[in-house]
Structure 1
Amino acid sequence: MKLLLKGLIRGTLPFAFMLSMYAWNNFQGRAADAKVFLFYGFMALFLGLASIIYELKQWSFRKQIMVHYLTMLVTVFPLLLLSGYHKTNSFGAIFHVFLLFNKVGVILFVTTALIVRVRNSLMNLKQTDR
């Protein structure tokens, strides 16, 4: 239950910010601009909720990666298709969005893994200096 609350906080805070940006842009009469904030808000919500997957110590890292990927595939990928920012008029166009989704996912995964590795190394150095 503690992890779920943590995920809700991680997802709800950016979602609330994006929702307020969506409302503000709608209020200003810029509905086309507002839509992007709504879709990014939902993506942030799902990313925040799914981030707790990596805190499940009883799961192997491989299982965490697979569950996270599948979670993003059923939440974020449809949002990309529904957002209207990508062509979806053919199978090839949808496949292109799928490739983009995976490319960005790999880049974010590798970047995050490197940051975590460097952070852990620095923390280990600090602990050995004591």
Structure 2
Amino acid sequence: MKLFLKGLIRGTLPFAVMLSMYAWNNFQGRAADAKAFLFYGFMALFLGLASIIYEIKQWSFRKQIIVHYLTMLVTVFPLLLLSGYHKTGSFGAVFHVFLLFNKVGIILFVTTFIISKVRNSLINLKQTDL
């Protein structure tokens, strides 16, 4: 339950910011801009909630990756399709969005993995110096 609350906080804070930006833009009469903030807010909410998957120590890293990918596939990918920012009129167009989703996911995964490894190495280095 503690992990879930941690994920909820991680997701709710950016969602609240995006929701306020949605409301402000909607109030200003900029519905198209408002819609973008709403979709980005939901994506941030799901990303925050799913971030705790990597903190489940009982799971192998492989299982964490698979569960995280599947979670993003059933939450963020449909948001990309529903957002209206990508063509979805044919199977080829939806497949293109799917490839883009995976390409961005791989880039983000590799980047955060490298940052995490460097960060952990620096922490371990500091601990051995003490």
Return the TM-score normalized by structure 1: 0.99
Question: 1:27: Cα distance to partner?
Answer: 0.3
Question: 1:97: Cα distance to partner?
Answer: 0.1
Structure 2 residue 114 is matched with structure 1 residue 79? no
Matched with 1:122 is 122
Q: Distance in 1 between matches of 2:120 and 2:32?
A: 43
Please list every run of 5 or more consecutive structure 2 residues that lacks an aligned counterpart in the other structure: none
Matched with 1:104 is 104
Identity across the alignment (%): 89
Deviations 1:94-122 (A, max 9, x none): 00000000000000000000000000010
Alignment coverage as a number of residue pairs: 130
Please list every run of 5 or more consecutive structure 1 residues that lacks an aligned counterpart in the other structure: none
Deviations 1:30-85 (A, max 9, x none): 00111000000000000000000000000000000000000000000000000000
Structure 2 SS opposite 1:103: helix
Q: Distance in 2 between matches of 1:46 and 1:39?
A: 11
Q: Distance in 2 between matches of 1:124 and 1:33?
A: 44
Structure 2 SS opposite 1:87: coil
Structure 2 SS opposite 1:38: helix
Q: Distance in 2 between matches of 1:128 and 1:6?
A: 30
Q: Distance in 1 between matches of 2:12 and 2:95?
A: 30
Letter in 1 for 2:9: I
Structure 2 SS opposite 1:4: helix
Letter in 1 for 2:119: R
Letter in 2 for 1:42: F
Letter in 2 for 1:11: G
Matched with 1:49 is 49
